[in-house]
Amino acid sequence: MPMKVAIQGGQASFHDVAARRFFAHTDLQLVECQTFRQEFAELSKGCADFVVMAVENTLAGSLLSNYALVAQFDATIVGEIYLQIKQNLMALPGQAIEEIRTVRSHPIALQQCSEFLEKQTHMRALESADTADSARQICEQRLTGTAAVASMRAAELYDLTVLVESIENIKDNYTRFWILARHKEAKHEGEKASLVFHVKHEVGALARVLNTLCDHSLNLGLIQSVPIPGRPDEYAFHVDIEWNERKQFESALPQIKQETSYLYVLGQYKAGEKPYARSFS
């Protein structure tokens, strides 16, 4: 039986590319979803074995709303993959760039290409649900005067002509994707973990948690804060930590629990290769 993997978007989307790279040499059946929430719904119903979900981009930052979905649907992270994002402007064969009046793509893709698009004063950006789906619509509806911002695979799949390659603002543009499974079916392996916690509303609360990580030689790779709805002046913190030996993490958890009012382990997993590390070191 093929492995069923839920992705946001359709064929030739960057989620599709990430799924195929992570599950290389595996027979996949894509479960195409319009939203990230729908991905988790498919996982909860047993209609998908795994979810592939973008969580961070070197240009757009972290998608913090996706962190909340993991805990809400009782899912867990079982892996991650970094994918270089190259955005391309494409249209029907025979179209010239001067004829393009509308550019369709996902809002994050448009944001990633904002510098190029702002120079095209004859074009109007139009947000859509997915990069590849924008390309598909142009192909199926034979939309003239319309271009899509999407992957090279989308151009190939939907027989579109690439007008301009690699139009993203920064060439070192990478997105991190999490691979998620139902919590009860996941194996907790690897040398990395993602946590969310609430600190007590008092002086030094966050510092004590960070000191605990340091005391147990846990490397803090990411920290993000987000307000807690209905609780003014209180914040949830999302962190990624890595270790050399699992006992470092296991011994730190009880102490972190003592220093927080809420703690949830989003997942323990093998760290993905960071292809852009040399550029940001």
CATH number at residue 226: 3.30.70.260
Q: Are residues 69 and 178 in the same domain?
A: yes
Cβ neighbours of residue 127 closer than 8 Å, sequence gap 6 or more: 104, 105, 106, 107, 110
- pLDDT-above-90 percentage for the chain: 76
Separation in Å, CA 108 to CA 54, 78, 80, 96, 155:
11, 25, 20, 25, 19
**Does 278 fall in a domain?**
no
* 114 and 68 both lie in a single domain: no
Are residues 52 and 177 in contact, defined by beta-carbon separation less than 8 angstroms? Answer: yes
Helix (H) or strand (E) holding 154: helix 152-157
Q: Quick check: 159 pLDDT over 90?
A: yes
**256: containing domain:** 192-269
Which residue reads 């930590």 in tokens? 241
Confidence check: pLDDT of 281 > 70: no
Query: How many domains is the chain partitioned into structurally?
Result: 3
Q: How far is CA 102 from CA 91, 145, 169, in A?
A: 10, 7, 19
Q: Give a yes or no: residue 116 inside a domain.
A: yes
Same domain, 78 and 178: yes
User: First-to-last CA distance in the chain?
Assistant: 43
The pLDDT tens digits of the residues spanning 186-200 come to 777 899 999 999 987
* Mean pLDDT in residue range 221-234: 84
Q: Which residues contact 23 (CB under 8 A, 6 or more apart)?
A: 3, 5, 50
Confidence band for 215, pLDDT divided at 50, 70 and 90: very high
20 and 59 co-located in one domain: yes
CB 86 within 8 A of CB 152: yes
Q: How many residues does the chain have?
A: 281
Q: Are residues 21 and 94 in the same domain?
A: no
Burial bucket for residue 20 (CB in 10 Å: 0-12, 13-18, 19+): middle
Residue 169 belongs to a domain = no
125 and 64 in a common domain? no
Q: Is residue 133 one of the residues assigned to a domain? A: yes
Mean pLDDT of 9-33: 94
277 located within any domain: no
Residues 265 and 141 occupy one common structural domain: no
Taking residues 143-166, what's their average pLDDT?
A: 97
Find how far residue 252's CA is from the centre of its chain: 28
> Residue 235: CB partners within 8 Å, gap ≥ 6?
198, 199, 225, 226, 227, 228
126, 155, 184 - which closes a domain: 184
Contact between residue 170 and residue 84 where contact means Cβ atoms under 8 Å apart: no
Same domain membership, residue 124 and residue 77: no
Whether residue 276 has pLDDT greater than 90: no
Does residue 104 share a domain with residue 241?
A: no
Q: What pLDDT, on a 0 to 100 scale, did the predictor assign at position 173?
A: 85
Q: What is the largest CA-CA distance in the chain?
A: 65
Give the Cα separation of 93 and 173 in Å (integer). 28
In a domain, 100, yes or no: yes
Using one digit for the tens of pLDDT, what is the confidence trace for 76-125?
Answer: 999 999 999 999 999 999 999 999 999 999 998 999 999 999 999 999 99
Judge if 65 and 7 occupy the same domain: yes
Q: 49 and 13 in one domain? A: yes
Cβ atoms of 267 and 195 within 8 Å: the answer is no
- CB count within 10 Å of CB 62 equals 16
Write down the pLDDT at residue 68: 83
pLDDT given for residue 278 in this prediction: 46
Average pLDDT score, the chain: 92
Q: Please check whether residues 259 and 207 belong to one and the same domain.
A: yes
pLDDT at 268 over 60: yes
